[in-house]
Amino acid sequence: MISIAIDGPAGAGKSTIAKELSKKLLYIYVDTGALYRAIGLYMIDNNINNDKSAVSSLKNIKVNLEFIDKEQKVFLCGKDVSSKIRTPEVSMMASKVSAIPEVRSFLFDLQQNMAKQNNVIMDGRDIGTVVLPDANVKIFLTASLEKRAQRRYKDLLEKGIKCQYEEVLRDIIKRDEDDSNRKIAPLKPADDAIIIDTTEYSLKESIDLVLNTIKNNLR
Ligand code: DC
């Protein structure tokens, strides 16, 4: 099986680019952030606000991914929560729970099994470093803070989620900091990752650049 790992900070364009490339390459696109978001949503819906309770609630949580018309859907305890997990509140909670080691190990097998059974393009924070250390190609996608906040703000408005630009910027700064500084599986490029900065590129240019990088480095 072939696996492509795409890591990087929030708003770097990982999911938009990976989704497009999965269509061109005919691989399955796995958005691992959606898994952490589903756990975050569970904590919000059940008013769980400390790590200890979060860990003990894991036994009641079932998260799974399904591919309907080639589109990833995430199910939390049997319910499709694919849209519900996109709010800024869930983003922040996903980042918070993602620092808990038990949450990471809870989601680990699910991610690895997807890559054992399918050719995948998988995006996240620790795919090249921890989840798929033997991925065929590892890309670390980044862009300036302002550009990432602008893109995320536009995405949210397009999804009909009301928000302020300043709030989106503040959340991204906090998530960058927390995701990069946590003790376990922090956001960082793998030693053998190719770093691509998309600040100055349009979406189409970024897709072409990442596609060519994959093609040129597929081993
Ligand atoms: O990619 P995203 O914005 O949907 O991810 C939401 C949060 O989940 C992110 O702030 C950190 C966490 N996450 C993670 O720790 N590891 C991953 N592989 C993917 C996401």
**What confidence score (pLDDT) does residue 148 get?**
97
Least Cα distance to 86 among 147, 37, 27 occurs for: 37
- Residue that is written with structure tokens 């998260």 in the block: 63
| Calpha distance 38→214 (Å, rounded) | 29
List the chain residues with pLDDT less than 70. Answer: none
**What confidence score (pLDDT) does residue 122 get?**
98
Does the beta carbon of 111 lie inside 6 Å of ligand 1?
A: no
The Å distance, Cα 35 to ligand 1 centre, comes to: 8
What are 103-138's pLDDT values in tens digits? 999 999 999 999 999 999 999 999 999 999 999 999
The Å distance, Cα 8 to ligand 1 centre, comes to: 9
Does the beta carbon of 9 lie inside 6 Å of ligand 1?
A: no
**What confidence score (pLDDT) does residue 70 get?**
80
The Å distance, Cα 37 to ligand 1 centre, comes to: 7
| Calpha distance 40→84 (Å, rounded) | 11
pTM: 0.96
The Å distance, Cα 208 to ligand 1 centre, comes to: 24
- Residue that is written with structure tokens 């499709």 in the block: 80
Does the beta carbon of 151 lie inside 6 Å of ligand 1?
A: no
Q: Which residues of 133-155 are buried (b: 16+ CB within 10 A; e: fewer)?
A: eebebbbbbbbeeebbbbbbbeb
**What confidence score (pLDDT) does residue 69 get?**
82
- Residue that is written with structure tokens 């946590």 in the block: 182
Ligand 1 atom showing the smallest separation from residue 36 Cα: 8
CA angle 69/136/3 to nearest 5° reads 20
Residue 166 sits at φ, ψ, to 5 deg, of -60, -35
